[in-house]
Chains A and B, each alone.
Chain A
């Protein structure tokens, strides 16, 4: 079976007033129907990875090298009509801020129907009935009435449900979710996560779920890839990452979680800030913040260890059974 996603040595560099090496040698593979969480802090390259997958980066200011195949389709070679068929048909995306990602002057029904008409070649009435069906599937109450409302008339949670309905309306093989719960209230977050998990089972599509919240990643995904400074520094099943994180950064993220912290105790934050990426990292980008860094870490990029199948860690000290805390 073809891999759902196969990214090889992807490099993305933004040119302009400031050069930013946003992605550096990213490789990533996903099987059909898998749910992967891309975990990392702001600026680590999560969203850039998603946008590259959809070919959404502005071509003039972006230099992209490497190979991206989705379901066997070479994404970088897509142009014009083929690219339009791929976007929304094969792969679709749920955005972080549903309030901004929906067009304010069209009804939500129209916005879903528009995509359906484009991809399924049906007339407006059929597309609207598909839209209605989708609103039902994302558990929007009295969907018939909501079909003709404008985005600003809905709550944040409802808007995100509409966004999900829109993304799934054409039955994509891969769903990209860019921090879909970040802009929502905590209670609504859980509902949206549960909904996404149910829909993923129902539709059987693969999901890449971008988040900076390790709790969310654990909740939703089978596999986790941790990104730092435009690189994937650790990847494994969710269980492996939680039980046996090897990279000091992943350990830091786990330790910084709020669970099991007594009142009044200082939180375990990772000191420092991620690098600016104006130059391509030539050594381990985490070394300046790393509690267990060695001289070699600052000399060259760390080798990638593969402790088991589809598990990898880009750290010199990953081979040590238990690194010093």
Chain B
């Protein structure tokens, strides 16, 4: 198991390098000049060149990449063109907020999705199954930004129960675990949880249904096991696949919440990303995408390792 872990960790290195190159190039391919966003319209060609040289944008691309990656290894992600603040601080503050939102959504979605999926799989082809299927299809299909707006109208505008914007009272950026802050989390987390509820429920339903149809379930009953024992066996069999789906969902939740963060003005990575795009803030854009991508890589690694740990059929060497 330890050698497997080490091997997987080593394999991550080339992936991370590839990810960094793609992050760097993608941003370069995009049209538009970052300088136009920060320079006055009447700036002379000399002034523009000077600014370009100051940010190192006049050098050839491979050199720019080498400088960027060299600084990155030392923990320096450059400075934001728009604000002049260090990118690292901005990105990690935002990713922390996004992680908070993503994990909260996961904490809501995974148990509910698993429970619904198990029920549907156990009572396959009954009204329970059909109801769960309807709920999960609705969850996956409803545009969640629209749902977010609807929830805001109901719970913020009409009922005034929950705030609709920001991550703390008065636009505060410092998170703490009290109700004043947590009430800001409720609506975005619930909205974000709807899609993974549907996906997890459908996955678990298919898994549970398939496993319950296997011969070994009959064999378990035949040796005198109770219904509860059998469900324990089914859960253990489904765990590896279900957990891998959940791990990837967590990755999507972190990177894919741009719309939700925009709707709720949540100061997370998605919010930061959309600002960086509109301001053509290359260092910030590269840094944010890289951190999110590396998080996804890490998530994949964790999923693989956990899967190998619970399913004996997966090669561990």
Interface residues of chain A, those whose CB is within 8 Å of chain B, are: 51, 54, 56, 84-89, 92-93, 95, 97, 100-107, 114-115, 118-119, 150, 152, 166-167, 170
Contacts and interface: CB of A to CB of B under 8 A. Distances in A.
Contact of A166 (B214, B223, B237, B240): B223
Given A106-B233, A106-B236, A101 B216 contact: yes
Contacts of B215: 95, 97, 100-101
B223 A92 contact: yes
Interface string B211-227: 00011101111111110
A88 B222 contact: yes
B135 to A, nearest CB: 24
Main secondary structure on B side of the interface with A: helix
Contacts of A88: 222-225
A259 to B, nearest CB: 32
Contact of A105 (B218, B225, B229, B310): B310
Interface residues of B, number: 21
Nearest to A115: B223
A118 B233 CA distance: 15
Contact of B237 (A84, A104, A107): A104
Contacts of B224: 84-89, 115, 118-119, 170
Contact of B313 (A54, A56, A105): A105
B219 A84 contact: no
Interface string B46-64: 0000000000000000000
B311 interface: yes
A114 B215 CA distance: 17
B312 interface: yes
Contacts of A97: 215
Contact of A102 (B216, B226, B310, B313): B216
A100 B223 CA distance: 15
Contacts of A100: 214-216
B219 A95 contact: yes
Contacts of B218: 51, 56, 95, 101
Contacts of A167: 223
A56 to B, nearest CB: 6
Contacts of A54: 221-222
A102 B237 CA distance: 12
Contact of B221 (A56, A105, A152): A56
A103 B225 contact: no
Given A101-B218, A103-B216, 14 more contacts: A56-B221, A56-B222, A84-B225, A84-B226, A85-B224, A87-B222, A88-B224, A89-B224, A95-B219, A101-B219, A103-B237, A105-B311, A114-B225, A118-B225
Contacts of A119: 224
B266 to A, nearest CB: 40
A208 to B, nearest CB: 13
Contacts of B220: 103
A88 B230 CA distance: 14
Nearest to A90: B224
B307 to A, nearest CB: 12
Contacts of B219: 93, 95, 101-103
